[in-house]
A and B are shown apart, each in its own frame.
Chain A
Amino acid sequence: DADVTQTPRNRITKTGKRIMLECSQTKGHDRMYWYRQDPGLGLRLIYYSFDVKDINKGEISDGYSVSRQAQAKFSLSLESAIPNQTALYFCATSSPNEQFFGPGTRLTVL
């Protein structure tokens, strides 16, 4: 679904580095989410935002921060990356019901 895009698609970084993952959407949705996916653990919510001035922690927010720069943009930052943050990261938007996922960012922390 080209309406939700993520950059970069793949990233390899080193322990201690700061990294930002970006998400943009053209769906006009107010609600945006960041999830991480690990094998056998499904999708776990990191942060979510229901409008530009609204930021909420999800179940695994420690070690992450977010910025909602505009309705269409929601960025996820790892201030000091660690190896157990190696995962597949998905951004999503939602209408009142359906969630639309971006293509994912595969992050490897060495």
Chain B
Amino acid sequence: GENVEQHPSTLSVQEGDSAVIKCTYSDSASNYFPWYKQELGKRPQLIIDIRSNVGEKKDQRIAVTLNKTAKHFSLHITETQPEDSAVYFCAARDTGNQFYFGTGTSLTVIP
């Protein structure tokens, strides 16, 4: 089955700096890659996603890139703000419509 690895597990940045979280996957047939943000005590919520036929997608301060050849995808947050502090999860959906999640990155934005 699919295996998703996520790095780093913790990340601290100064407010205004950029944050990058990286994930790799093992199943080359996986075709959809969402990113979720989970605030403390809350449920995961989708923040951005990318399909396998697209290399990059941007939504305001958040962008995701996908390298199918290398089987890795990354989340980029620019101009970070304290409210960006949360745990971020990457995921990959396989052809059987199962979602496999990374182990999460705890992001802290220091004011």
Interface residue ranges, A against B (CB under 8 Å): 1, 31, 33, 35, 40-45, 48, 50, 58-59, 90, 94, 97-99, 101-104
Q: Is the CB of A40 within 8 A of B103?
A: yes
Could you say which residues of chain B place their CB within 8 Å of the CB of A94?
Answer: 97, 99
Cα of A99 to Cα of B103 in the assembled complex, Å: 17
Q: Is the interface of A mostly helix, strand, loop or mixed?
A: strand
Q: CB < 8 Å: which of A33, A44, A48, A101 contacts B45?
A: A101
Interface residue ranges, B against A (CB under 8 Å): 1, 6, 9, 32, 34, 42-46, 49, 89, 91, 93, 97-104
Could you say which residues of chain B place their CB within 8 Å of the CB of A104?
Answer: 43
What total count of A-B pairs have CB within 8 Å? 48
Most chain-B Cβ atoms within 10 A of its Cβ — which of A97, A99, A104?
A99
Cα of A50 to Cα of B99 in the assembled complex, Å: 13
Q: Is the CB of A58 within 8 A of B44?
A: no
Instruction: Give, as a whole number of angstroms, the nearest-CB distance from B36 to chain A.
Output: 8
Q: CB < 8 Å: which of B32, B44, B46, B93 contacts A43?
A: B44
Closest B residue to A98 by beta carbon equals B46
Cα of A95 to Cα of B89 in the assembled complex, Å: 19
Could you say which residues of chain A place their CB within 8 Å of the CB of B101?
Answer: 35, 42-44
Q: CB < 8 Å: which of B42, B43, B45, B103 contacts A42?
A: B103
Q: Beyond the given A43-B101, A104-B43, please list 17 additional residue pairs across the A-B interface where CB-CB is below 8 A.
A: A40-B9, A40-B103, A41-B103, A42-B6, A42-B101, A43-B44, A45-B100, A58-B98, A59-B1, A90-B44, A94-B99, A97-B32, A97-B93, A99-B46, A99-B99, A101-B44, A101-B45
